A and B are shown apart, each in its own frame.
Chain A
Amino acid sequence: MIAGWLFASPYERRLLGGPPLRGPTPWVIAIMSFTILIIAASGLALANSASLLGNAIHGRYSVIVPDGGANAAAVTAAVRAVPGVRAVAPVSEQEMRRTLERWLGPEASSPSLPVPAMVEFDAGAGSNIPAIANRVAAIAPGASVVAHRETVGPLLQSLRLLQWLAFGLVALLSAAAAAAVVLAARGALDTHRATIEVMHGIGATDLQVTHLFQRKIAIDALAGSLLGAVAAAAILLAVAAGAAFAGELTGGAVLNWPDLLLLAMLPFALAALASVVARMAVLASLRRAL
Chain B
Amino acid sequence: MARRCTGPPSRSNREGQNLAEIAEFDSVGLRYGTGGEVLRDLEFRLAAGGFYFLTGPSGAGKTSLLKLLYLAQRPTRGRIRLFGEELGDAPREALPAFRRRIGVVFQDFRLVRHLSAFDNVALPLRVAGASEDEIEGPVREMLDWVGLADRAGARPPTLSGGEQQRVAIARAVINRPDLLVADEPTGNVDAEMARRLLHLFTSLNRLGTTVVVATHDIGLISATAGAQMIRLENGTVVDRTGALRNPPGQRARP
Contacts and interface: CB of A to CB of B under 8 A. Distances in A.
Interface in B95-120: 95-102, 104, 106, 110-116, 119
A237 interface: no
Contacts, number: 67
A202 B92 contact: no
A204 B124 CA distance: 8
A83 B72 CA distance: 86
B112 A198 contact: yes
Interface of A is mostly: helix
Interface string B158-173: 0000000000000100
A201 B74 contact: no
B112 A195 contact: yes
User: Max chain A CB contacts within 10 Å: which of B122, B127, B128?
Assistant: B127
Nearest to B172: A202
Contact of B115 (A15, A201, A204, A205): A15
A125 B126 CA distance: 72
B71 interface: yes
Contact of A287 (B92, B100, B104): B92
Contacts of A198: 110-112, 123
Contacts of B106: 201
A5 interface: no
A199 interface: yes
Q: What is the size category of the interface that chain A forms with chain B?
A: 20 to 34
B18 interface: no
Contacts of A208: 127
Contact of B124 (A194, A203, A206): A203
Given A202-B124, A208-B127, A11 B119 contact: yes
A195 B127 CA distance: 13
16 contacts: A11-B115, A11-B122, A14-B116, A15-B112, A15-B114, A17-B113, A198-B110, A198-B111, A201-B70, A201-B104, A201-B110, A202-B100, A202-B104, A203-B97, A204-B96, A204-B127
Given A201-B110, A290-B74, 8 more contacts: A15-B114, A194-B112, A199-B127, A202-B124, A203-B127, A208-B127, A290-B71, A290-B72
Interface of A: 11, 14-18, 194-195, 197-206, 208, 287, 290
